[in-house]
Amino acid sequence: MLVGFILIFVLSLFAVCLYYKRQRLTTGKDIPRPRGFPIIGNINLLLGNLAPCIVLQRVGRELGDVFKLSIGFKDVVVLNSAEVIREAFGKKGDDFSGRPYVYSIDRISHGDGGIAFRDFSPSLVQHKKVSAAALRSNFVGYFEESTGKCIFRELDELLSSFQKECNAFDPSDILNVAIANIILNITCSIKYEAGDIELEELLQANDNLKVIFKVGDIIDVFPCLKVFPNKRQRLVVQLINIRDKVFVREYERHKCSHDPDNTRDFVDALLNLGYLPKDQIVMTAWEMFSGGFESTFQTMRWAILYLMMNQEVQSKIQRELDENSWHRYPAWKNRRHLPYLEATVLEVLRHSSFSSLNGPHQTTIDTEISGYKIPKGTMVLSNLWWVHHDPSTWTSPGEFNPDRFIDTKGSVHVPPQFLPFSIGRRKCLGDQFAKMEVFTLLGGILQRYTILPSAGDPIPSAEPSEPDMIRVADPFRIQVLPRAKQIS
């Protein structure tokens, strides 16, 4: 009986697969694709020991800058160059601005909550517009505590923690607290101390999110199997419980004490609008923390690793700091006086390509790219890692070299193939905020300390050992040497 059930199930899946395949064959000029297997398609390519961005680069080398994979019964189009990404997300931004339905993500985001995971609609455009305006206004002190002051305060505490480390140490725990507090203070006026249990829970929930986003969850490929127990779905439940405990509580606290004439933070700014429902405010606040924390934290880890391995770059930044801002922390508004520091931040973003494939897009109408027809409802991935490592557009892309972002006049120059935050409708909301944080934190550390490798430890690798979509530097330890001069 069990064998018969399995046979019927497999035949049903195969019939649906044939239906989808036949449907694809009617869409005109077909996009090239690698050979696949019945039912599972090409998902096997993404489950090996290589990071998906590297696998897709190799497939693109054979098939071109636009190709597609079959993941279960769905087609996924891959964009493998800056040119086609700009054509799709820039020139045809509305056509490619949807979000695909993914069971796990839909559960996390309460369907239409928030911004990052929500499908394209006029209400999303308005929601993102007002959120971006609130975030930008804080750069000039719209909130009770400005972003710059908050970063300076946490930088003071971070440097004090560095001072207590006499031996080699992993900087991650110290960075965790400082960066989480910056984001949470701006979002909802929370500040934690190192070791706080609630902070540890929030950080663990963020780690769970990286696991949930890994390729290959059977329920995301075949949602009909959601009735069966699944470890990754248990992580989804844990994440939701932790997130809601903190951010629903903060929503209620802010609503009870809300004063339109005293905007304390991002949640207050959203409440000032008067029309966003509770779920959307809670989800947007959580996305601010989750995305803002993870991207900045991992970028700072990469920055410290790269500078530890490139002492000449570190020395050049320190000379620039000495000449231009010794008696104060480097402020983002004064970055034109510190072009090499800013260029280093850009090079860290390029070389690490933390968000290697960005978030998945989906076509909102029947459209085309580079002459290929793409039906409405097709998932689209952009290989940002390869865009940043393509030797046809970058000189020696494997080298860490901030000078590639400096022009002949000594000013910062950003080439069109630099897309760490993507472009178009789905460009990261906090791109300026992330660069501002890394610029100030990294500059402040280098004013006071020189970062050295841990004596006796093997030389760390500049490539992650885990083949994930999110590129995370492996654990490493540093030593910090106080500099002769100190800021006053």
pLDDT one-digit tens code per residue, 154-200 = 999 999 999 999 899 999 999 999 999 999 999 999 999 999 999 99
CA-closest candidate to residue 269, choices 113, 135, 118, 150: 135
d(CA 69, CA 57): 13
Taking the C-alpha atoms of residue 383 and residue 60, their distance in angstroms, rounded to an integer, is: 10
Of 115, 30, 100, 79, nearest in space to 364 by CA? 100
Confidence of residue 138 (pLDDT cuts 50, 70, 90): low
Strands (E), 26-166: 66-71, 74-79
Least trusted range by pLDDT, from 105-119, 127-141, 402-416, 421-435 = 127-141
Residue 289: its pLDDT value, please?
94
SS3 state of residue 459:
coil
CATH T-level topology, domain 2-482: Cytochrome p450 (1.10.630)
Enumerate the domain spans of the chain.
Answer: 2-482
> Model pTM?
0.90
pLDDT band, very low/low/confident/very high, at 144 (cuts 50, 70, 90): low
Which residue reads 């989480």 in tokens?
A: 180
Q: What mean pLDDT comes out for the span 452-462?
A: 90
The model's pLDDT over 75-106, given as tens digits with 9 standing for 90+, comes to 999 999 999 999 999 999 999 999 988 777 77
